[in-house]
Amino acid sequence: MKAILGVFLVFLLGLGAENALAQINDINSAINKAGRQRMLSQRMAKAYFQIGQGVDVERSKKILDTSVATFDRQLVELKNYAPTPDIKNTYLSLEKTWLSYKDVLIGKAPSPDNGRKVLALSEDVLALAQQGTVQLEKQSTSAAGPLVNVSGRQRMLSQRMAKFYQASAWGVGDASSAASLETARKEFNEALGMLAAAPANTPQIKDSLELVKQQWFFFENALGQKTGGDKRPQTAVATTSERILEEMEGVVGLYEKLPK
């Protein structure tokens, strides 16, 4: 009986620790999670388009499911943390738009008609997530806040490029998809140079940014491939976009830990 109670207590303590880790404790953490919402808005669309094309299906389904769950959880955290009424209102607006987006993303097998809705709604959700991130950055009084925002935006741009690539490959892209992909590519490249020159960079951040630069070479090459009869180009974009996202997550985490 004591052993069972002990296991139950450890389980409860584990839940408590997990919940404690999930909370937003400072402005840098808030900016990071707000910025991650931007990225997830694009990553979910990318995964949806990949599933629709039959590209890396099992992993794409897992990406979609975990991204939906993470977006839901972080939205609650950001609403609870919101330090001003304006920021609170932004996240209440985001919640409404998110429910429409989520409704199209899950519950039915991906179809081109719904894919066009996903493309449009991913832009609406991104706009509000961006608004919230900028509002939170303005609450920061340290040099770290803007760096968390810019590096966090790189995560979003990586997924945004992949989203437009997969949308075009599936035939659900709109007239501006190719131009939007090119704009995101230029913005990513420029911000990578800006981050590399940041005076606040530690040796660890410099090393991590070098890894991002290496992954960017592979990702950019994948984005330059034309889609054809097989799905190898789409698979290459699916894979390299996840690798560069993983490296950028590490960079954002390092910036988040800089002195407030």
Mean pLDDT score across all residues of the chain: 92
Percent of the chain with pLDDT over 90: 85
Name the amino acid, one letter, at 226. K
Mean pLDDT of 121-136: 98
**Distance separating alpha carbons of residues 83 and 66, to the nearest angstrom:** 27
Residue 192 within a domain: yes
Residue 12 within a domain: no
Does pLDDT of 82 surpass 70? yes
**8 Å CB contact between 205 and 211:** no
pLDDT (tens digit per residue) in 84-115:
999 999 999 999 999 999 999 998 999 999 99
pLDDT (tens digit per residue) in 192-211:
999 999 999 999 999 999 99
Instruction: Write 188-197 long-range contacts (CB < 8 A, 24+).
Output: 188/154, 188/157, 188/158, 188/161, 188/216, 189/216, 191/150, 191/153, 191/154, 191/157, 192/154, 192/216, 194/150, 195/147, 195/150, 195/151, 195/154, 195/251
Domain that holds residue 224: 24-256
* Count of structural domains within the chain: 1
Does pLDDT of 21 surpass 70? no
Residue 234 within a domain: yes
Mean pLDDT of 25-54: 96
Extract the tokens encoding 164. 């437009």
Over 242-254, what HEC string results? HHHHHHHHHHHHH
Residue 32 within a domain: yes
∠ CA 191-205-62, nearest 5°, is 75
Does pLDDT of 9 surpass 90? no
Residue 19 within a domain: no
At 1, the pLDDT band (50, 70, 90 cuts) reads: low
∠ CA 149-152-157, nearest 5°, is 120
Residue 178 within a domain: yes
Residue 14 within a domain: no
Residue 185 within a domain: yes
